[in-house]
């Protein structure tokens, strides 16, 4: 991509078609991961203070299982990038598979299929389909992130990263247009329309993005990714900066991934938001995410990616602290705004920092390792959150507050390790 000036850098076909996939997959992320699937879980498994904690456990464990499968397979993805030099085909394939499973969630949820293990069979199937849909959605992002260096220059990479995230969060606004289709609190009504929107806004990537194959390819064994992960850990002294950042990202992403998954249930069950009020809160958080992602693109360029990551961690810690002790809606409105800003900014700063730290000839491998670190943390956080709510379910709302407070410890550890990354 040639060096561009001003707003023209955002208006090229490769950049727009790339950014619109962020728009598309954010519709899935917001509608399924954050809003309507958690509402569906609470509707099916909640009901009182104790059952609300059990619903939180169901939701946490479903997210943890999805991330577990991603940890198993993500080391292979970096090898696929290095062997083929292509990313688009994998982005599209994984996106279409995620869309299919999301559509099936909507088709199966209303069916009466008897019981399985004491639970409605349809409910059990929908949870399994969610695990699969989220796995393929997250897998597509590994290849999508690796496309950024192909469309940007050294001067524009941080700004385009911010632009992509900002466009993505605009997808949240479009995704929420399915809310009027939810009738009588039957939140599964949102699943099929979400799949349709996800498909529509994936089309620009499918039809308009023209990928230039890499000139130099590596003929590495298919399972070399697992060996690469092990070798990278053994060679940590050679890649000390990137290894330390993987640790930082592990802990910060732990808090973010868990908070995203549990935000809806926590706001409704603990703070007392209605579904409509939470939708409005989420819209405000989304606006904060858009602003945060765009501003942090420029902060990253001006102050360095390293400093920008620290700023994001501090904002996230503040949001979790306020959310843990929120006793009324105004306090949680501030929490949501702070969390939205941190959420939008973390993808911008981390994506740029990993590119800055990675040797160019190992970028695909390190993007796989980057995903490995983040997705491993996405097992630990929800698993810990769900276990706390399960063990303390008899204590009611205090269980969720303790679970949320535990995430602050992860952010604090990440910030302490961050200080050790050399300039």
Tokens 């765009």 — which residue? 294
Over range 164-174, report the average pLDDT.
80
Q: Is pLDDT above 90 for 220?
A: no
Question: CA 118, 69, 164, 203: dihedral to nearest 10 degrees?
Answer: -80
Q: Assess contact for 344 and 293: CB atoms under 8 A.
A: yes
pTM: 0.80
Over range 382-394, report the average pLDDT.
88
User: Rounded to an integer, what distance in angstroms lies between the CA atom of residue 8 and that of residue 14?
Assistant: 12
The mean pLDDT value of the chain amounts to: 83
What domains can you pick out in the chain, each with its CATH number?
Answer: 11-209+226-418 (1.20.1250.20)
Q: 68-78: per-residue pLDDT in tens?
A: 998 888 777 77
Residue 119 belongs to what H/E stretch? strand 119-120
Most confident of the ranges 50-64, 140-154, 181-195, 220-234: 181-195
User: Rounded to an integer, what distance in angstroms lies between the CA atom of residue 405 and that of residue 397?
Assistant: 13
Q: Assess contact for 407 and 259: CB atoms under 8 A.
A: yes
DSSP string covering 152-164? --TTTHHHHHHHH
Q: Assess contact for 279 and 179: CB atoms under 8 A.
A: yes
Q: Assess contact for 187 and 268: CB atoms under 8 A.
A: no
Q: Which two tokens stand for residue 108?
A: 């199966």
Per-residue pLDDT band for 4 (boundaries 50, 70, 90) equals very low
- What residues contact residue 78 under an 8 Å CB cut-off, 6+ apart? 142, 225, 228, 364, 365, 366, 367, 368, 369
Give the pLDDT score at 214. 60
* Residue 5 burial class via C-beta count within 10 angstroms: exposed 0-12, middle 13-18, buried 19 and up: exposed
User: Rounded to an integer, what distance in angstroms lies between the CA atom of residue 320 and that of residue 22?
Assistant: 26
Over range 288-309, report the average pLDDT.
85
User: Rounded to an integer, what distance in angstroms lies between the CA atom of residue 407 and that of residue 389?
Assistant: 13
DSSP string covering 193-241? HHHHHHHHTTHHHHHH------SS-----TTHHHHHHHHHHHTTTTTHH
Q: Assess contact for 140 and 77: CB atoms under 8 A.
A: no
Give the pLDDT score at 364. 65
Q: Is pLDDT above 90 for 219?
A: no
DSSP state of 118: T
Distances 186 to 34, 40, 110, 121, 180 between C-alpha atoms, Å: 16, 7, 9, 17, 11
* Residue 8 burial class via C-beta count within 10 angstroms: exposed 0-12, middle 13-18, buried 19 and up: exposed
- Strand, helix or coil at 115? strand
Tokens 């602290």 — which residue? 321
Percent of the chain, pLDDT > 90? 26
Tokens 């409910």 — which residue? 123
Over range 180-197, report the average pLDDT.
89
Q: Is pLDDT above 90 for 407?
A: yes
Q: Assess contact for 45 and 51: CB atoms under 8 A.
A: yes
Helical spans, DSSP H, in 361-396: 363-391
Q: 199-215: per-residue pLDDT in tens?
A: 999 998 888 877 766 65
Lowest mean pLDDT among 1-5, 215-219, 390-394: 1-5
Over range 153-178, report the average pLDDT.
78
Which neighbouring-strand residues pair with 116? 119
Q: Is pLDDT above 60 for 6?
A: no
Q: 106-158: per-residue pLDDT in tens?
A: 999 988 887 766 677 888 899 999 999 999 998 898 888 877 777 766 667 76
């Amino acid at each position: 991509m040639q060096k561009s000036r001003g707003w023209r850098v955002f208006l090229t076909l490769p950049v727009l078609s790339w950014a619109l996939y962020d728009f598309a997959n954010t519709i899935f992320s917001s509608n399924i991961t954050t809003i309507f699937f958690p509402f569906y879980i609470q509707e099916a498994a909640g009901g009182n203070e104790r059952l609300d904690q059990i619903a939180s456990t169901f939701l946490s464990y479903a997210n943890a299982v999805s991330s577990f499968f991603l940890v198993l397979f993500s080391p292979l993805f970096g090898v696929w990038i290095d062997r083929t030099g292509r990313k688009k085909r994998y982005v599209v394939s994984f996106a279409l598979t995620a869309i299919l499973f999301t559509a099936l969630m909507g088709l199966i949820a209303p069916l009466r299929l008897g019981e399985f293990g004491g639970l409605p069979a349809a409910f059990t199937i929908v949870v399994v389909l969610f695990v699969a849909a989220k796995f393929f959605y997250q897998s597509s992002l590994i290849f999508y992130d690796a496309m950024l260096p192909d469309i940007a220059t050294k001067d524009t990479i941080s700004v385009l990263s911010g632009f992509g995230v900002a466009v993505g969060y605009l997808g949240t606004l479009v995704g929420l247009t399915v809310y009027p289709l939810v009738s009588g609190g039957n939140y599964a009504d949102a699943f099929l329309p979400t799949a349709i929107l996800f498909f529509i806004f994936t089309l620009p990537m499918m039809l308009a993005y023209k990928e230039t194959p890499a000139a130099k390819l590596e003929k590495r064994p298919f399972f070399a990714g697992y060996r690469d992960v092990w070798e990278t850990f053994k060679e940590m002294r050679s890649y000390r900066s990137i290894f330390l950042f993987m640790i930082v990202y592990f802990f910060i992403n732990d808090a973010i991934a868990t908070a995203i998954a549990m935000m809806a249930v926590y706001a409704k069950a603990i703070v007392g938001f209605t579904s409509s009020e939470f939708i409005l809160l989420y819209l405000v958080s989304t606006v904060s995410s858009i602003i945060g992602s765009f501003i942090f693109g420029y902060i990253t360029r001006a102050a360095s990616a390293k400093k920008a990551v620290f700023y994001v961690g501090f904002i996230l810690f503040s949001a979790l602290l306020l959310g843990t002790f929120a006793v009324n809606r105004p306090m949680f409105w501030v929490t949501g705004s702070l969390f939205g800003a941190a959420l939008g900014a973390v993808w911008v700063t981390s994506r740029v920092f990993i590119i800055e730290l990675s040797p160019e000839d190992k970028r695909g491998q390190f993007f796989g390792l980057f995903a490995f670190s983040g997705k491993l943390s996405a097992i630990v956080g929800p698993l810990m959150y769900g276990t706390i709510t399960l063990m303390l379910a008899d204590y009611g709302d205090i269980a969720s507050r303790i679970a949320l407070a535990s995430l602050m410890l992860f952010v604090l550890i990440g910030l302490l390790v961050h200080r050790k990354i050399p300039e």
